[in-house]
């Protein structure tokens, strides 16, 4: 889920007019830090998968799939504007609220 929140709220490749990535390193490509993460409550529901070995079910990166969309829907509902580009920065949301056009900033 932390990957999904980071993707939705701050991760963006900045590309110049010639197609060069302007933020290629971790100093300029902003990932969400541990201290910025919300508290997660994890609950396991044990339902066997009949196709998995001994009923095993994959655990992997399922949280990254729905998290960005859930955040976008929550922020769209709260702000009253459609948010359909990532990252959902405060500047992006504000520009949509005041009627400016354009993609994420």
**Model confidence pLDDT, tens digit, residues 70-93:** 999 999 999 999 998 899 999 989
Name the packing angle between helices 63-79 and 2-9 (round to 10°): 40
Q: pLDDT value at position 71?
A: 93
Q: Is pLDDT above 80 for 2?
A: yes
Q: Is pLDDT above 50 for 104?
A: no
Task: List, by residue number, the catalytic residues.
Answer: 61
What are residue 78's phi and psi, to 5 degrees?
-70, -35
**Model confidence pLDDT, tens digit, residues 34-73:** 899 999 898 887 888 888 888 887 777 777 888 999 999 9
Q: pLDDT value at position 101?
A: 57
Q: Is the CA virtual torsion 69, 73, 76, 79 positive or negative?
A: negative
What are residue 85's phi and psi, to 5 degrees?
-130, 150
Coil/strand/helix, residue 60: coil
**Total Cβ atoms within 10 A of residue 87:** 17
- Report all structural domains of the chain as residue ranges with CATH numbers, in order of start: 2-97 (3.30.365.10)
Coil/strand/helix, residue 16: coil
* CA nearest neighbour of 57 among 71, 47, 69: 47
Q: How confident is the model at residue 94 (pLDDT cuts 50, 70, 90)?
A: very high
Q: Is pLDDT above 60 for 15?
A: yes
């Amino acid at each position: 889920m932390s990957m999904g929140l980071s993707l939705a709220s701050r991760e963006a490749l900045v590309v110049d007019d010639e197609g060069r990535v302007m933020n290629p390193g971790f100093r300029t490509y902003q990932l969400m830090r541990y201290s910025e993460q919300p508290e997660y409550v994890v609950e396991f529901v044990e339902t066997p998968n009949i196709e998995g070995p001994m009923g095993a079910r994959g655990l992997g990166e399922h949280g990254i799939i729905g998290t960005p969309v859930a955040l976008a829907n929550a922020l769209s509902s709260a702000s009253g504007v459609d948010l359909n580009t990532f990252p959902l920065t405060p500047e992006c949301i504000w520009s949509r609220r005041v009627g400016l056009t354009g993609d994420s900033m």
